Amino acid sequence: MTLAIFITGTLALLFGLLLGYAAIRFKVESDPLVEQVDSLLPQTQCGQCGFPGCRPYAEAIANDGDEINKCPPGGDATIKKLADLMGVEAKPLNAAHGEDAAAKTIAYIREDECIGCTKCIQACPVDAIIGAAKQMHTVITDECTGCDLCVDPCPVDCIDMINVPQTSSTWDWKESIQPETLIPVKVVS
Amino acid sequence: MESFDTIVKRLSENRLWQFPGGVKPQDKKALSNTHAIRRLPLPDCLYIPLKQHIGNKGSLIVEVGQRVLKGQPLTKASGPYSVPIHASTSGTVKAIDEHVSAHPSGIAEPTLMLEPDGLDEWIKLHPNPHYSQLDKSTLVELICDAGISGMGGAGFPTHIKTNNPQKLEFLIINGIECEPYITADDRLMREHAWQIRQGIDILQHTLNPKHIIVAVEDNKPEALEALRIACKDKPDCSLVSTPTLYPMGGEKQLIQVVTGREVPGKGLPSDIGITMFNIGTCFAIADAVFNGKPLIERVVTLTGEAVKAPQNVWALIGTPIAFLTEHAQLKSSKRYSQRIIMGGPMMGFTVTSPRVPVVKTTNCLLMPKASFAQPEDIERPCIRCSACSDVCPASLLPQQLLWHSKAKEYDKAQDYNLFDCIECGACAYVCPSDIPLVQYYRQAKSAVRSEKDEKQKAEKAKARFDARTQRLENDKKEREEKHQKAAQARQNAKANANDTATETTTAPKSAAVAAAIARAKAKKQQTSTPVLETEQKEPAQVDDKKAKVAAAVARAKAKKAASSNAIESEEKLESNTEAPQQTEVDDKKAKIAAAVARAKAKKAAASNGVEPNEKTAPTIETTQQTDADAKKAKVAAAVARAKAKAKAKAEKNAE
C-alpha cells in the first residue's frame, strides 16, 4: 500500500517536473492563433472592421471571439478561410462595414489640384503616399492597398479610387469559358 | 534513372521509351506541307509588341518619327530575363502605343508601330563564321542581342538556357511538332536542314553536352531524311524517329520517350542533365551567329478548311494576321465572321481581333470550318468514365482536378498536382461530355497565382504598416524624451539661477538685510491678516480662504521685493560696467531696426512688383490670365471645394 502510494507519488512528481520544465523550455512567445488569423487578413489596414488595422481585428477574433464577417476587402474568400480556421459557420459579409469590393482599386491623386496639405500622407497606413508640405503629393501605386483612408482627410477632394487596370499577366481565364473563345479540340475528330 | 550508357545503347538500336497516355488526333498536315515556304510582300504597317517572351520587356531606344533600318534593335535588354526586339524591315516608327496583343485576352499592350518604306534596307551586319573561336559568353551575348526566345511556344529567353552552368549529358533537339495542322517546323527542316545543323553545332560548342539527340515524329519522313543527311558526319549525335502521338512534343514527354528519365515535378530538365531546344530556335541561332541577323521573321503555317490556299509563309514579326489570312485566300464571305486560332487546335487560342500581330512564338494560324462548337456541344455533366485520366500524359487525375477547380478548392487541386498539368488538352479531346477541362485548370492556376501574388502583397503591406507603426512609436518616445530633457534642463537652469542669485545677494550685506526685512514684513503680514480677519468673524471658511489668498499674494510680493533688491544690488555692483552694456543694447536695437527696415523694403518691393502686374493685367485680361490670377483662381477653387466638402459633411451629420 505505502509502496504503491510512494511509486505513484514519485511518478506524479516526476511527470509534474517534466511538464513544468517543458512548459518553460518550449514556451510559445505569442498567441499563434492571432498570427494565423492575421496572416489570413488582407493587410489593407483600412480599419473598416472598426479596429485600427488588421492585427487588432485578428486579436479580437482570436481572443474575444469577434465576428469573422467584418472585413470587406477580404470578401467571402477571407470569411471562408477564417471560418475554417476558427471552426465556426461562414456567414455573409456584414454590410455595416462596407460592401465587398468587386474590383481592386488604388488611390490616385489629381496632382494639379493637390494643395500639399500632407493630410493624406498622415492617413496612409502603409506609407504609400509621398510628398511634402506645400508640395504636390503622389501615390506609389505598387504599395497602395486601396484602403480608402486617404480619401476622406483630403480637404480639396482631389483623391480618386481607380480600378487597377488588367494586364495579360493578371488576366484570369474566367471570361474564356464561353463558346466564342473556346478552342474546338474536337475539330480534328 | 537510366544511365547514360544504356540510353545511348538503346538509342543506337532505335528502342525508345514511352510516356503514359496520349491521343492520336488526325494530323491534317497534308493540307499545308506540300508547298515550299513562301515569301510575302511587305505589309502596310507592322505592330511589334515590346514584349514577346517570358520575362521583362527591354527599354526603348528609338523615338516616334525616327527612321530605322531592317534588323536595328528597338529595345535594349534591361535585365537577365529580357531580350531585345528588332525592326522587321526599314521604315519609320509611326507610334509607340497600346495595341491588341497576341494573347487569349487580347488586352492591349505596348507596341511599336512601324511603317515600312519599301526599301527593306538592312543595318550593317556582323557575321561570325568562325564561331568556334568565340568563347561561350560572347556566343551567349550574341544570342541574347539577336532577340532569340524559344520558338516552340513558351517563349523562354534562349540565352538563359544556353548559359547553363550545370554539366549536361544530353542536348535534345525537338523537331516533333505534334499538334495537328501545323507544318512550320516540318517545312523548315525539309528546306533548311543544313542551317539547323549549324545551329546545333553552335549549341554543342556553348553547352558541351556528351550526346545530342535530334527527335522527329515518324509522320515527317522527308524532314527526317533531310536532317539525317545534314547530320551524317556529326559524331555523338543520334537521329531518332518517334511514334506519332500527341503530346510527344511536350518537353517532359519527349525527354521521357528518348531518355526514359522523368523531369521532377517542380524541377527543370537541367536537373537531370538534359536541355532541349526547338528546331526553329536552332535555325534562328545559326542566323544570328553566322549571318549576324537578329530574329525578325519566322515560319507561320496558314491552314484550315476555311482557306483556299493553305501554306507556310515567312512572316515578319509584327505582321497583322489579317494580312496573312488574305494571302492564304480566306474565303471572302468569311472575312469578318471567321474564327482564327493562333497556335494549333489543341493548345491554341482564338484571337480577339484580325489586327493581332505575329509574334516570336506564333507558329500557326488555323481557320477551321464553321461547323464546330455548336451550343449543344458545350459541356454536359461528367459521367466519371475516366477516359481523361487514361490519356493524361502527366499521369494526373483530371476528374479530381475538375471537381476541385470548379468548387474553387484550390488547395485540394494543388494536392492533386494541378501545376504539373501541361495544358495539352488531351483530356478535353477525349471527354464524351465535351467538358473544356483545360479551361478550368487554367482558371484554377491563374486564381492560385493571383492568390499567391495577393499574399505577397499583403505581407509587404504588413511589413510597411509595422514599420510605420514602429516609426510613429519611436517618434513619440523621442518627443517625450526630448520634452523630459528640456524640462530637466529648465529646472536645472532655474536651480542654478537661484543659487547664483542667493550667492550674489549674500555678497552685499545691505541687499541681504533688505531681503531679510522683506521676509520679516511678509511674515508679519501673514500673521497679522488672519488676526484681522478672525476679528471680523463673519463667514469663517470664506475668510480662511481669503486669508490664504492674501497670504500667497503677500509671499509673492515679498519674493518680488527680494529679487528686485537683489537685482538692484547687482546693478550697483555692476554699475561701473554699465556703459559697455548699454552700448551693446544699443547695438542690438540698431540691428533690429535694420532688420525691420529690410523687411519693410522687401514688402514694399513685393507690393511694387505685384502692382505693375495688376496694372497690366486688365489690359491683357481678355487674351490671357496672369500667373497670379491663375494661382488665385486655383486657391479659390480649392477653398470652394473644401467649403463644399465641409458643408456636405455637416449636412450628412445633420441627417
Q: Of B448, B432, B430, B450, which Cα lies nearest the Cα of B440?
A: B448
Q: What is the C-alpha separation between B282 and A73, in angstroms, rounded?
A: 49
Contact indicator for B136, B144 with CB cutoff of 8 Å = no
Contact indicator for A30, A55 with CB cutoff of 8 Å = no
**Helices and strands: H and E segment counts in chain B:** 18, 16
- Quick check: B384 pLDDT over 90? yes
- Quick check: A184 pLDDT over 60? no
- Quick check: B48 pLDDT over 60? yes
C-alpha cell at B457: 502583397
Closest residue on chain A to B411 (Cα): A81
Say which of A44, A172, A187 has its CB closest to residue B450. Answer: A172
pLDDT in tens, B174-211: 999 999 999 999 999 999 999 999 999 999 999 999 99
- Whether the CB of A185 is below 8 Å from some CB of chain B: the reply is yes
Tell me the whole-structure pTM to 2 decimals. Answer: 0.73
Q: Which residue type is seen at B179? A: E
| CATH topology for the A32-97 domain | 3-methyladenine DNA Glycosylase II; Chain A, domain 3 (1.10.15)
Contact indicator for B395, B383 with CB cutoff of 8 Å = no
Q: Determine whether the interchain pair A41/B436 forms a contact, defined as Cβ–Cβ distance below 8 Å.
A: no
- Whether the CB of A5 is below 8 Å from some CB of chain B: the reply is no
Cα of B259 vs its chain's centroid, Å: 38
- Whether the CB of A111 is below 8 Å from some CB of chain B: the reply is no
Name chain A contacts of B101, Cβ cutoff 8 Å: 168
CA dist list (Å): B249 to B11, B20, B71, B176, B245: 18, 14, 31, 5, 9
Cα of A65 vs its chain's centroid, Å: 17
Q: What is the C-alpha separation between A140 and B458, in angstroms, rounded?
A: 15
Say which of B101, B443, B467 has its CB closest to residue A174. Answer: B443
What angle, 0 to 180 degrees and rounded to 10, lies between the N-to-C axes of helices A32-40 and A75-86?
160
Query: B347: distance to nearest CA of chain A, Å?
Result: 8
Mean pLDDT of B414-430: 92
Name chain B contacts of A54, Cβ cutoff 8 Å: 462, 465
Tell me the DSSP string of B476-508. Answer: HHHHHHHHHHHHHHHHHHHHHHHHHHHHHHHSS
pLDDT confidence band for A36 (50 / 70 / 90): confident
pLDDT in tens, A67-125: 888 888 888 888 888 898 888 888 888 877 877 666 788 899 998 889 999 999 999 98
Which residue do the cell numbers 479659390 mark?
A: B636
Q: Determine whether the interchain pair B460/A143 forms a contact, defined as Cβ–Cβ distance below 8 Å.
A: yes
Name chain A contacts of B107, Cβ cutoff 8 Å: 166-168, 171
Name chain A contacts of B247, Cβ cutoff 8 Å: none
Q: What is the C-alpha separation between B114 and B65, in angstroms, rounded?
A: 10
CA dist list (Å): B66 to B109, B545, B640: 21, 94, 47
- Residue A186's pLDDT is 55
- Residue B371's pLDDT is 61
> What is the SS3 assignment for A44?
coil
CA dist list (Å): A103 to A74, A138, A165, B53: 12, 22, 10, 28
C-alpha cell at B44: 502596310
For residues B596 and B622, the model is more confident at: B596
Say which of B372, B439, B457 has its CB closest to residue A176. Answer: B439
Q: Determine whether the interchain pair B436/A182 forms a contact, defined as Cβ–Cβ distance below 8 Å.
A: yes
Say which of A115, A155, A184 has its CB closest to residue B345. Answer: A184
Closest residue on chain A to B437 (Cα): A177
Dmax (CA) of chain A? 92
Say which of B368, B447, B450 has its CB closest to residue A187. Answer: B368
- Quick check: B435 pLDDT over 90? no
> What is the SS3 assignment for B315?
strand
Q: Determine whether the interchain pair A126/B461 forms a contact, defined as Cβ–Cβ distance below 8 Å.
A: yes
Name chain B contacts of A145, Cβ cutoff 8 Å: 457, 461
Q: Among A81-95, A168-182, B128-142, B525-539, name the most confident range.
A: B128-142
Tell me the DSSP string of A129-155. Answer: EE--TTS--EE-TTT-----TTTTT-T
Q: Determine whether the interchain pair A126/B464 forms a contact, defined as Cβ–Cβ distance below 8 Å.
A: yes
Residues 6+ apart with CB under 8 A from A120: A107, A109, A129, A137, A150, A153, A154, A159
Q: What is the C-alpha separation between B364 and B425, in angstroms, rounded?
A: 17
Closest residue on chain B to A123 (Cα): B468
- Residue B385's pLDDT is 94
Q: Determine whether the interchain pair B345/A155 forms a contact, defined as Cβ–Cβ distance below 8 Å.
A: no
- Whether the CB of A76 is below 8 Å from some CB of chain B: the reply is no
B291 φ/ψ angles, rounded to the nearest 5 degrees? -105, -10
Q: What is the C-alpha separation between A59 and A45, in angstroms, rounded?
A: 14
Closest residue on chain B to A113 (Cα): B638
**Of B75-79, B148-152, B517-521, B624-628, which range is least confident?**
B624-628
Of all residues in chain B, what percent carry a pLDDT higher than 70?
Answer: 80
Q: What is the C-alpha separation between B440 and B233, in angstroms, rounded?
A: 49
Contact indicator for A38, A55 with CB cutoff of 8 Å = yes
Mean pLDDT of B477-497: 93
What angle, 0 to 180 degrees and rounded to 10, lies between the N-to-C axes of helices B398-406 and B437-506?
50
Q: Determine whether the interchain pair B349/A127 forms a contact, defined as Cβ–Cβ distance below 8 Å.
A: no
With 0-12 / 13-18 / 19 or more C-beta atoms within 10 angstroms meaning exposed / middle / buried, residue B406 is: middle
- In a mutational test of the A interface, the residue from B388, B455, B465, B635 whose CB has the highest number of chain A CBs within 10 Å is B465
Q: What is the C-alpha separation between B532 and B515, in angstroms, rounded?
A: 25
Name chain A contacts of B409, Cβ cutoff 8 Å: none
- Whether the CB of A128 is below 8 Å from some CB of chain B: the reply is yes
- Residue B564's pLDDT is 60
Tell me the DSSP string of B159-205. Answer: HHHHT--S--SEEEEEE---STT--HHHHHHHH-HHHHHHHHHHHHH
C-alpha cell at A29: 512567445
- In a mutational test of the B interface, the residue from A43, A111, A113 whose CB has the highest number of chain B CBs within 10 Å is A43
A31 φ/ψ angles, rounded to the nearest 5 degrees? -65, 115
Which residue do the cell numbers 456636405 mark?
A: B648
Closest residue on chain B to A167 (Cα): B107
- Whether the CB of A126 is below 8 Å from some CB of chain B: the reply is yes
- Whether the CB of A2 is below 8 Å from some CB of chain B: the reply is no
The complex scores an ipTM of 0.78
- Quick check: B605 pLDDT over 90? no
B68 φ/ψ angles, rounded to the nearest 5 degrees? -120, 150
Q: What is the C-alpha separation between B110 and B49, in angstroms, rounded?
A: 6
Q: Among A63-72, B9-18, B88-97, B338-347, name the most confident range.
A: B88-97
- Whether the CB of A30 is below 8 Å from some CB of chain B: the reply is no
- In a mutational test of the A interface, the residue from B105, B450, B469 whose CB has the highest number of chain A CBs within 10 Å is B105
Which stretches of B246-289 are assigned E, i.e. beta strand?
Answer: 274-278
Name chain A contacts of B440, Cβ cutoff 8 Å: 177
Closest residue on chain A to B54 (Cα): A169
Contact indicator for A145, A154 with CB cutoff of 8 Å = no
> What is the SS3 assignment for B295?
coil
> What is the SS3 assignment for B116?
strand
- Count CB pairs under 8 A between chains A and B: 130
Q: What is the C-alpha separation between B409 and B451, in angstroms, rounded?
A: 12
C-alpha cell at B344: 494549333
- Quick check: B532 pLDDT over 50? no
Say which of B26, B109, B468 has its CB closest to residue A125. Answer: B468
Q: What is the C-alpha separation between B406 and B408, in angstroms, rounded?
A: 5
Name chain A contacts of B460, Cβ cutoff 8 Å: 143
Q: What is the C-alpha separation between B345 and B343, in angstroms, rounded?
A: 7
Closest residue on chain A to B108 (Cα): A167
Q: Name the architecture of domain A105-163.
A: 2-Layer Sandwich (3.30)
Q: What is the C-alpha separation between A155 and B630, in angstroms, rounded?
A: 20
Contact indicator for B325, B309 with CB cutoff of 8 Å = no
* Mean pLDDT, rounded, of chain B: 83
> What is the SS3 assignment for B299?
strand
Q: What is the C-alpha separation between B345 and B341, in angstroms, rounded?
A: 7
B277 φ/ψ angles, rounded to the nearest 5 degrees? -130, 150
Query: A73: distance to nearest CA of chain B, Å?
Result: 11
pLDDT in tens, B64-119: 999 999 999 999 988 888 899 999 999 999 999 999 988 888 888 999 999 999 99
Q: Which residue type is seen at B548? A: K
pLDDT in tens, B169-179: 999 999 999 99
Which residue do the cell numbers 528597338 mark?
A: B74
Which residue do the cell numbers 478672525 mark?
A: B534
C-alpha cell at B364: 500557326
- Residue B537's pLDDT is 46
Q: Determine whether the interchain pair B442/A179 forms a contact, defined as Cβ–Cβ distance below 8 Å.
A: no
Q: Determine whether the interchain pair A113/B442 forms a contact, defined as Cβ–Cβ distance below 8 Å.
A: no
Q: Determine whether the interchain pair B105/A185 forms a contact, defined as Cβ–Cβ distance below 8 Å.
A: no
pLDDT confidence band for B536 (50 / 70 / 90): very low
Contact indicator for B90, A151 with CB cutoff of 8 Å = no
